[in-house]
Structure 1
Amino acid sequence: MKKVVLKAYGKVNLGLDVVRRRDDGYHEVRMIMQTVGLFDRLELKKTSGDSVTLSANLRFLPVNEQNLVCQAIAAVKKKYSIKSGVEAYLEKRIPIAAGMAGGSSDCAAALRGMNRLFELGLKEEELCEIGAGLGADVPYCVIGGTALAEGIGEKLTKLPPVPHCHILIAKPGVSVSTKTVYENLDVPGLLSHPDITGMISAIENQDLKGITGRMENVLETVTIPRYPVIHEIKEFLLKQGAESALMSGSGPTVFGIFASEEKAQRALSNLRSFEDVKQAYVVAPVNRES
């Protein structure tokens, strides 16, 4: 095989709780992750020589060893003594620094792509093990679909697919540092925690209202005061008929879940009144990576 092309799907957090801050500075989380049908496209080709090169459709995107795609390719080459070079091209569509795990998803796609390109025969668990050394969200992005993530995000339990729905994703024109958000989170001072256990039961029972009624993200307590537009977008989506609306990850992306595609598309059209919204899409949940 000389070339592979993969989709790197973004994610949203249907529920995100932070249990505690560990002595090593990391935070223990309990969250429900969901892959959505907004994806980057990654192309990998074998080349002569031993070098790894990356190009992308966005000029400001790092295309050196800072990029997780390069790190993933290098990690697989080293671990399995691969001498061939690799040329990668990344077409970005997932908003950057937006709480949708775009970089982690690209990394996971690179791991899966290297597995296919060099016919390594690695199982999902082995790819997740490599991915865990590259980023906390990478193992989840390897498996995709609906999952419970615990620990620092690396302990994953697959869940049944969520019921069919339509998800409107809206990214305002600000970027948020995940590190900064977690550093400023007052875990002992949190007044409310998401009902993650109840949401798991709602997913198992295919109860969309049970899911949307439990959507909560404790990181909003840090990000929304800094960027009030997040709250404004949430309120707008609710007025447009969303079952619920929430910030994804550390933000600033907001998503609303709609039972009706017609309402979701109408809300997308009406979002034009928000000058601060720079990217917006209507997508559906994705059950697994492809």
Structure 2
Amino acid sequence: MDEIELKAHGKINLSLDVLSRREDGYHNVKMIMQSVALHDTVFLKKEEERGIRLSCNLASLPTDEGNLMVRAAKLMQEEFSIPDGIGMRLHKRLPVAAGMAGGSSDAAAVFLGLNQLFHLGLSVSELEKRAVKLGADIPFCLHRGCFLSEGIGEKLQELPPLPPCHIILAKPAFSLSTKLIYENLHVDGIHKAEHPDVDRMIQELKKNNLEGICHLGGNILERVSLKLRPEIRELKNYFTEKGALLSLMSGSGPTVFAIFPKEEEAKCHAILEDLKNTALNNLLELSCITAPC
């Protein structure tokens, strides 16, 4: 096998809590992440000429060490003295800087793909130890499904997946700085009652109760993001008014996702059509329907 193709799935945060700021500048988090069907496609192949080469369908993305895919490939190539060159091609579908772990998922695909392509024999847990050196979300992205994520994001516990449903994604055509949002969160000043109840959501996941899960959805980072970009609140309110069981920002944003029951697929398509006729559509980079995976 000299070439491999992998899907790099995006994620949403069903619940995101920040517990404390660490001495190293990172934050301790407690969050529930669910992978979604919307994905990038990563192509990897062995090449005769040594080196790492990346191409992408989006000209705006870096193809040097500013891209996590290149850094992941370099880490693996150097550690295992891989003599071959590594050619990588990325077909980007996930929105960039969206709070959906697109870059982390692409890097995770590189770790998984090179492990297979060069028969390195590493377990997923061994890949996780390497992946966290590049980004806290990458260990989760080595998996599909639903996971509790703690520490800086590297401590993972598998959970029952989100029940079958439809998820509308709406990514505004602007970005938010994750660093800026965390710097302005001031977690020590947030009352305990204002934090999402992650433990109760875990119980609802175990019951396979979609309405109960959605009732407990929360993202503590919205406290900052909604102040910086009120358009996020407008999107959340739009989906809530359309009957979404949950309308929430994913990660540090700005993507908003809305969850609808499985039987409401036609309604979701109608909502997307309606969205095209509203002023909100003018600020969107992406709007689509996906599902848990």
Kindly state the Cα deviation for residue 216 of structure 1 after the two structures are TM-superposed: 0.5
Say which of 228, 231, 234 aligns to 2:230. Answer: 228
Kindly state the Cα deviation for residue 122 of structure 1 after the two structures are TM-superposed: 1.4
Partner of 1:280: 287
Kindly state the Cα deviation for residue 189 of structure 1 after the two structures are TM-superposed: 2.0
- Paired residue type of 2:66: Q
2:13 corresponds to 1:13: yes
Kindly state the Cα deviation for residue 232 of structure 1 after the two structures are TM-superposed: 0.3
Kindly state the Cα deviation for residue 160 of structure 1 after the two structures are TM-superposed: 1.1
- Paired residue type of 1:175: S
List per-residue Cα deviations over 1:146-192 (Å, max 9, x = no partner): 00000000000001112111100000111111111111111022240
2:265 corresponds to 1:258: no
% identity of equivalent residues? 48
Give the alignment of 1:1-290 within 5 angstroms.
1-191=1-191, 192-259=194-261, 260-272=264-276, 273=278, 274=280, 275-286=282-293
Q: Take 2:50 and 2:140, find their aligned partners in 1: how far apart are those partners?
A: 29
List per-residue Cα deviations over 1:227-277 (Å, max 9, x = no partner): 001000001011112111000000000000000212222111112122111
- Paired residue type of 1:134: L
Moved over 3 A (4+): none
List per-residue Cα deviations over 1:42-84 (Å, max 9, x = no partner): 1011001211000100111000011100011111111111110
2:44 counterpart SS class = strand
TM-score, structure 1 as length reference: 0.97
CA-based RMSD: 0.8
**5+ residue gaps, structure 2:** none
Kindly state the Cα deviation for residue 129 of structure 1 after the two structures are TM-superposed: 1.0
* Contact kept? 1:240, 1:263, Cα under 8 Å: no
2:188 counterpart SS class = coil
1:149 counterpart SS class = strand
- Paired residue type of 1:163: P
- Paired residue type of 1:267: I
